[in-house]
Amino acid sequence: MTDLLDGYPDHADAVPLYGSRIHDEPAELFEEMRRKHGPIVPVLLDNDIPAWLVIGYRELHHVTSQPQLFGRDPRRWNMREHIPPDWPSITYVTWQPTVMFSEGEERRRRSGAIGDALDSVDRTELTMICERVADLVIDEFAGDGRAELITQFAYRIPAQVVIRLYGMPESDLPDMVRVITHLLDGAKDASDSHSRVLEGMVRLAVTKRARPEQDITSHLLASAARLTDDEVVQDLMVLVIASYSSCANWIGNALRLMLVDDHFSMTLQGGRSSVGEALNEVLWKDPPVRNMPSRWAVRDCDLAGRRVRKGDLLVLGIAAANADPQVQPASHEESGANRAHMSFSHGEYGCPFPAPELGEIIAKTAIEVLLDRLPDARLAIEPHEVRWRQTPWVRGLESLPVMFSPTGPVGRGSLNPW
């Protein structure tokens, strides 16, 4: 470890960004970090790789607003040669030819095309699709009186909705959703699943190039940005993967809040707290992406009194920045309608407009359908037994078992949105 920390004097007392505390006591750990280190914290990732965790709200806003200083391309990382192929977080820091890792004019060209394509989605149509998908998913367990709302519900909604928005034929949907789920479950043969998803997206792009319709894929192919088929395929992959994880955990975390929190549990009985308020509360306190290893220093610079070297990795501490006392003072814990959180990141590399709006429609509709179908749903375990997934990057639940009065299936007709 000594060799790795040469040139990093501030990392002599660095905080490990792994282990039980980051999973079980994140609020206490963030407070301790802020008190001891300030808004920029020297941290160690797996294998004791040095990095900086940005936990100050103002500093996070600065980093995400300065792409000329803090870029998105991981190929500039000065620790790349020390990262083994089986490093636990390798997928986050491996460059791929997608919009996610693009910069400058390339980023603006591709993200602009994505934004235009997403904005073409009819919101009313999207709500109807979400209702139908949620009903079909709930039909599978509504008669059982018990369900596990993470794997049986939250994880099954986003991919099904997004793939339909892509315009994929109904006959291909079940297999594609299964393969995407398998890919993102982290199975040992995930590379085979990745290849199958990629092949499906290639076929879809070829089909839509020949016969365009009113769907996201067709809009991307027809964009004034003149995207190649390969660029469209790569960015379709990014969109569905991002929506699967982020939106699914957003749904799961909000359901947990409404099942364990006295204030939000009123929603289950039609009380004063709305689903929208619960979703916003989650974005402040338990955002689906809580830390993001996604910025690299373009050149040597000073950041809040820290000397950051060219090629250093900066981890965006989204959950910690949202909890910064400067924006969330202890006397005003209720987030209410305040949407100044950083949970969709910020700036040029933030979540492209209008993805957050569409994600909220998916999450809100799915939860509202669940509450309508299972109004007496309640936790099947004690609140303290609910477990978070053991990862520093994602804030999501391992499971959320519930009990309810069994009900019959509800049909809402065809799932063809067009």
Which sequence spans correspond to the domains of the chain?
A: 9-403
Phi, psi of 354 (to 5 degrees): -105, 35
Segment 328-371, tens digit of pLDDT: 755 445 556 688 999 999 999 999 889 999 999 999 999 999 99
What pLDDT score does 262 carry?
79
Tokens of 380: 């099947």
Segment 81-92, tens digit of pLDDT: 999 999 999 989
Say how far apart CA 315 and CA 165 lie, in whole Å. 32
What pLDDT score does 332 carry?
43
What pLDDT score does 268 carry?
58
| Rounded alpha-carbon distances, angstroms, from residue 132 to 16, 117, 345, 406 | 44, 22, 30, 19
Segment 259-317, tens digit of pLDDT: 998 777 755 555 445 899 999 999 999 999 999 999 999 999 999 999 999 999 999 99
pLDDT band at 215 (very low <50, low <70, confident <90, very high): very high
Q: Please identify which residue in the block is written with the tokens 């809009």.
A: 219
Cis bond upstream, residue 356 (ω within 30) = no
What pLDDT score does 271 carry?
46
**Domain 9-403: top CATH class:** mainly alpha
Mean pLDDT calculated for residue range 361-383:
95
Report the candidate in 367, 287, 276 with the shortest Cα–Cα distance to residue 322: 287
The residues, any chain, with a CB within 8 Å of residue 15's CB and separated by 6 or more, are: 29, 33, 37, 41, 42, 43, 44, 53
The residues, any chain, with a CB within 8 Å of residue 334's CB and separated by 6 or more, are: none
Judged by average pLDDT, the poorest of 93-107, 190-204, 309-323 is 190-204
Report the candidate in 201, 214, 189 with the shortest Cα–Cα distance to residue 163: 201
pLDDT band at 418 (very low <50, low <70, confident <90, very high): very low
Segment 142-196, tens digit of pLDDT: 999 999 999 999 999 999 999 999 999 888 888 888 888 777 765 556 678 888 9
pLDDT band at 3 (very low <50, low <70, confident <90, very high): confident
Using the predicted structure, report yes or no on whether residue 123 has a pLDDT greater than 60. yes
Mean pLDDT calculated for residue range 363-386:
95
